[in-house]
Structure 1
């Protein structure tokens, strides 16, 4: 067999590329071990999961979760690890993980099979239901959501959930939930849709003096689990993130432990937005631990 110089050069270049720190074949733990930096993404418009705090820095439930992931990564690697946070949107969050720009994104993303084609997901860390928020006075003229124009954020599962639950419903897409809520305030739409906790957070942030209603008043249109977005085919990194979430659930069966401490900080009686953890959601989260001791 004849091996040309060109083939040798190309083969050498491939090997060299694979050996470089941060190369495409390196996993997240390898890259962080080399750089000491965990690059993570979160939202700026998802109160109280992820938003810009009074000091201009990211804050919220998801930010605290990412800090737990950082601490677990540092413990695994036996070295200090810096958490570098960047803001993502519903349109670019998957692409920035798939491209390798970010190591992990935690906010309010729901896993779907379509999304699994380009990224992986952690086990869920929260669950809530899709609802429509409208101003109370709007219901006098538009009592049925099918008579409303509903604002939704681009790149979310909200629109498909609404269309399945309410065939024929009219929706309008916006770049983010802040923009959708601004349109609601101007009367350009009669309602906005997302998971209930996000809708209540936005109403307190953007329209604190107006009475709002969540529809339907009883059961939501659909339940959505929230998970962290992870790079594909990196099982070591996915295992670490999953174990971090599982470890947080210790004591949750008694409404105690580290998960409840974070939950109460943001959703408790004295938190940013009171939103009690109901029994069914607690049990759902506990069932995510499928690993035997």
Structure 2
């Protein structure tokens, strides 16, 4: 972590914890040395399984940065236990106290905010529909397609707002939704564009696909880590860690860019350049005066 990032962490923690007042997640981790984290197993390249069964991806690296920051703060070894979550269970597992943090592709909503808290955004992308190119010969328009979505996501609501009356079918995971597309049960599958391209790369690497609409996305979604409700010390700590990672982002340098390039750069799992509007959006999340 940069010197500036460490300074932010110290300032935030001093303001919110007040020594003996520190309670909740940070206090428990100080006692156990374990962060209980969750991420997805099917969201390439944000979070997916390695051949040995472990997890890898952009959001897995973000969890590791949080772990290192906690370890530095506490001055003791800290390890992370990572569990696989699904769109259907990720909110409840944090709200129920099973997990301390979930980082993957969760979008904050007010309904979810009633049960959990969220960090500042660490990513943003647009919602689109992926179809096999040959599908466009018979169903050229998204509004005429039956579109697969993952259960427990905001995708169906976004589609309905953008394309009133569009037919959707919910599946328990993105892998299952994509399998329905391959089987011909649906003509498209919806999510943020980067996830759709990752699935296509993993499951149908030799088949031509297209993201629709070709111009503007159906909606923009921010991604944030899910955190326990009413634990401001832990929320501020995670926020400060993310802010520290974005130091230098304005000039396309720093730790955030290093992690981004590992997964989305020229030699990454999926080439998806960081555009200026997303960069500026992430930088605007740093609202703290120094």
Relative to the length of structure 1, the TM-score reads 0.91
In the alignment, structure 1 residue 290 sits paired with structure 2 residue 287? yes
1:40 aligned residue? 37
Q: Give the Cα separation in 2 of the matches to 1:257 and 1:272.
A: 20
Partners in 1 of 2:139 and 2:26 — Cα distance?
53
1:49 corresponds to which of 46, 49, 58:
46
Residues in 2 aligned to 1:152 and 1:158: alpha-carbon distance in whole angstroms: 7
- Are 2:124 and 1:124 aligned? no
CA distance, structure 2, for counterparts of residue 102 and residue 279 of structure 1:
34
How does 1:41-120 map onto structure 2 within 5 Å? Answer: 41-120=38-117
Tell me, in whole angstroms, the C-alpha distance in 2 between the residues paired with 1:94 and 1:190. 29
Shift of 1:148: 0.8
User: Deviation of residue 54 (structure 1)?
Assistant: 2.4
Name the counterpart of 1:10: none
Aligned to 1:225: 222
1:1-293 to structure 2, matched below 5 A, reads 26-293=23-290
Shift of 1:76: 1.4
Distance in 2 of aligned mates of 1:115 and 1:51: 24
CA drift of 1:243 comes to 0.3
CA deviations over 1:117-175 (Å, ceiling 9, x no partner) = 00000000000000000000000100011111100000000000000000000000000
- Structure 2: any 5+ residue segments left out of the alignment? 1-21
For 1:66 and 1:254, the matched residues in 2 are separated by 24
Task: State the SS of the aligned residue for 1:114.
Answer: helix
Compute the displacement of 1:55 (Å): 2.5
Q: Bigger radius of gyration, 1 or 2?
A: 1
CA offsets per residue over residues 42-63 of structure 1, 9 Å max, x none?
0001000000012221000000
Offset, 1:26? 4.7
TM-score by length of 2: 0.92
More relative contact order in 1 or in 2 (CA 8 Å, sep 6+)? 2
Structure 1 residue ranges (4+ consecutive) displaced by more than 6 angstroms after TM superposition: none
Structure-2 separation of matches of 1:246 and 1:27: 22
**For the residues of structure 2 that align with 1:35 and 1:225, how far apart are their CA atoms?**
32
- 2: CA distance, partners of 1:84 / 1:136: 41
User: What is the root-mean-square deviation of aligned Cα atoms in Å?
Assistant: 0.9
Aligned length: 269
Q: Which runs of 5+ in 1 are unaligned?
A: 1-24
Residues 207-233 of structure 1: per-residue CA shift (max 9 Å, x gap): 111100000001100000000000000
Q: Within 2, Cα distance between the matches of 1:160 and 1:99?
A: 25
